[in-house]
Amino acid sequence: MASILQTLTGSFSANDPAPAQTGAVFPNVRLRRLRRTPAMRALVRETHLHPSQFILPLFVRPGVGIRQSVSSMPGCAQTSVDECVRDAQAAAAAGVGGVILFGIPEHKDAIGSGASDEHGPVAEAVRAIKEAVPSLLVITDVCMCEYTDHGHCGVLHGDEVDNDATLALLAREAVMHADAGADIIAPSDMMDGRVGAIRAALDAAGHAQIPIMSYAAKYSSAFYGPFREAAESTPAFGDRRSYQMDPANSDEALREVAQDIAEGADIVMVKPAGAYLDIIRRVKDVTGMPVAAYQVSGEYAMLHAASERGWIDLERAMLESLVAIRRAGADIILTYFATTAARALMASR
């Protein structure tokens, strides 16, 4: 039976009687009435994009005055710390809520020693950005793949990524980031137990107040292609299917998310975003946690490539893709469009 409210409003879901039985049908109901003018559409809009909930990914490398563009990601670059601060300032000026930093170290080795180098590009960038723009949230990606010479997200035992041996290294990296002044720690490695290990290490180091945003449901995705050029983190052999999730799975995403929450995650992330909107919705509905979604490099590259060919309008497609991610249930969006989208939203006000 339809409720009185449903009858009055004419709203119904798949399980309710057909709209005809609620009495609210054409010609009494004309859904186009509320679509006639921009003001009318704005009045009934259900989902809004807020630049304060965008996070801009940045790639930091050693050196000074370096801005090396990433060919598959127009508008994105690997930069030295000084240039990275400029990008952070521009993002903050546009109202973007935060940045997430990825490091490209001077040297790579089998155990990814550079990951916990307190004078590495990430640590230096954290300090420089916090000094230049204190109000901008600085998040650090915690993983080994940019730092290992084999490009995997953990240390190897034979040809396999050794889960438990990797945990201590991730924890050390996270503590180093927090010591440098990071506001939020974001582990993206997909080792089991890493949120708990990082939480314990942060607490022991006096960083009990630093939140963890875990890449909780991170899929083994072809859409990460351009990022691996940007972060120089392509695996030297094999792939990441033994630690990242199978794109065919949805129930498993809820188990991953539940594990991370049990271990102390404060924000849970779904990644990629566009092809995983169903996962975002399930995670939001089931957990009620702050949910982040990562619109990844391949999603960004595809929109740019199609617009370069004149096949789609970049600005419209960008804003539509972002609002779809919000509508699916994400509170926070990590996107290479962050500054551009924030400016577009400002201009449209």
Just list the catalytic residues.
Answer: 218, 271
Task: Supply the DSSP symbol for 245.
Answer: B
Q: Is 227 in the site for ligand PBG (CB under 6 A)?
A: yes
Distance CA 239, CA 241 (A): 6
Among the residue ranges 23-31, 223-231, 246-254, 301-309, the one whose residues contact ligand PBG (CB under 6 A): 223-231
- Across 35-60, b (16+ Cβ under 10 Å) vs e yields eeeeeeeeeeeeeebebebbbbbbbb
Binding mask 181-220 for ligand PBG (x = CB under 6 A): -------x--------------------------------
| Token representation of residue 285 | 């509905």
> By CB under 6 A, what part of segment 130-159 binds ligand PBG?
141, 143, 145, 153
Each residue 97-136 as x (binds ligand PBG by CB under 6 A) or -, in order, gives: ----------------------------------------
Cβ 9 to ligand PBG shortest distance, Å: 41
* Position 335 contacts ligand PBG (CB under 6 A): no
**What are the residues whose beta carbons fall under 8 Å from the beta carbon of 64, sequence distance 6 or more?**
80, 81, 82
Q: How far is the CB of 310 from ligand PBG (least distance, A)?
A: 25
Distance in Å, CB of 234 to ligand PBG, minimum: 8
Q: How many binding residues for ligand PBG (CB under 6 A)?
A: 11
Indicate which single residue of 53, 297, 335, 340 sits in contact with ligand PBG (rule: CB under 6 A).
297
Burial of 186 by CB count in 10 Å (0-12 exposed, 13-18 middle, 19+ buried)?
A: buried
Torsion of CA 150, 177, 300, 270, to 10 degrees: 90
Indicate the residue whose CB is closest to ligand PBG: 227
Stretch that binds ligand PBG, among 20-28, 89-97, 194-202, 221-229 (CB under 6 A): 221-229
Q: Which is nearer to ligand PBG, 297 or 321 (CB)?
A: 297
What is the C-alpha to C-alpha distance for residues 317 and 246, in angstroms, rounded to an integer? Answer: 27
Contacting residue, 54, 224, 243, 276, with ligand PBG by CB under 6 A:
224
User: In one letter, which amino acid is 69?
Assistant: S
- The answer to whether 346 and 95 have CB atoms below 8 angstroms apart is yes
Nearer to ligand PBG, 2 or 84 (CB): 84
Give the Cα separation of 178 and 175 in Å (integer): 5
Q: Among 2, 139, 296, 332, indicate the residue that binds ligand PBG (CB under 6 A).
A: 296
* Nearest approach, Cβ of residue 215 and ligand PBG (Å): 7
Is there binding between residue 243 and ligand PBG (CB under 6 A)?
Answer: no
Determine the Cα angle at 102 with ends 236 and 332, to 5°.
Answer: 120
Sign of the four-CA dihedral 231, 79, 117, 185 = negative
Find the length of the chain.
349
The SS3 call for residue 218 is: strand
Contact call for residues 12 and 308 (beta carbons, < 8 A): no
Contacts to ligand PBG by CB under 6 A? 141, 143, 145, 153, 188, 224, 227-228, 240, 296-297
